[in-house]
Amino acid sequence: MAESFGADAERYDRTRLPYPEALVERIVAASPGPDVLDVGTGTGIAARQFQAAGCTVLGVDPDARMAEFARRAGVPAEVATFEDWDPAGRRFDAVVAGTAWHWVDPVAGAAKAARVLRPGGRLAVFGHAFQPPAEVGEAFWTALRRVAPDSPIDVRPDARVVDLYQAFYTKAADGIRAAGGFGEPERWRYDWTRSFTRDEWLDQLPTHGAVTGLPPDGLAEVLEEVGAAIDRVGGAFTMPYTTFAATAALKAP
């Protein structure tokens, strides 16, 4: 699934949301310099935000299609999983991962970050939690269960997604702590909202891991059912978002 998103990199880049500017600014301010390694850079969404904040960014991604898109968008990117990536002696002031750390072993990844960070450098992993209206979520889950009964994605519509993500970033902080070499991890949280029309949400939905592997007819069935649910709630909705981060600075030797 980690390498399925590049099948439609243009859609991914067009529809996926950036991260809160306050988060980016906080990471930059807490780092000793401007050199940033973006793990799981994808199409370079987060990387371009760090570039806009004055940083020099190198991306790493296991999907060659995503890395090529990032390069076309102005982000130098190398193709590898983070665990297997060769830093070739390079060091960075920050290692970041936006909506990507769930593909990385939390302890091995933090240990790798410690090896490529300069003293005082910062590891920051972050991502969005969001939950559509109950009727829209129920339609998605029902359709997905029907067209892909063996799907590993099993987040029921009545689950509190914020709680699930909070648990994940607690685990990420535990991984940083277990890797050693870092100060005590901090967890940051940013709450915000974004409104979607029916067409906007149906444009983004195919970029999510639960459906990237569906055959065209299965995806069409999911989109039809979700679209009908959005119509029933008025043709648009406002989504609550929470962006979580787990972060720590590398201690001086």
For the stretch 151-206, pLDDT in tens is 766 666 667 889 989 999 999 999 999 999 999 999 999 999 999 999 999 999 99
Establish if 83 belongs to a structural domain: yes
Q: Order of strands across the sheet with 117-130?
A: 77-79, 56-61, 35-39, 92-98, 117-130, 236-249, 186-197
Is residue 220 domain-resident?
Answer: no
Q: What are phi and psi of 215, to 5 degrees?
A: -65, 160
CATH at residue 106: 3.40.50.150
35 within a domain of the structure (yes/no) = yes
Determine, yes or no, domain membership for 50: yes
pLDDT in tens, 42-87: 999 999 999 999 999 999 999 999 999 999 999 999 999 999 999 9
3-state secondary structure 39-83: ECCCCCHHHHHHHHCCCEEEEEECCHHHHHHHHHCCCCEEECCCC
Residue 153 lies in a domain: no
Domain-embedded: residue 191? yes
Q: Which domain holds residue 168?
A: 5-131+160-195+241-249
- Single pTM value for the model: 0.93
Q: 145 in a domain, yes or no? A: no
Q: Is 184 inside any structural domain?
A: yes
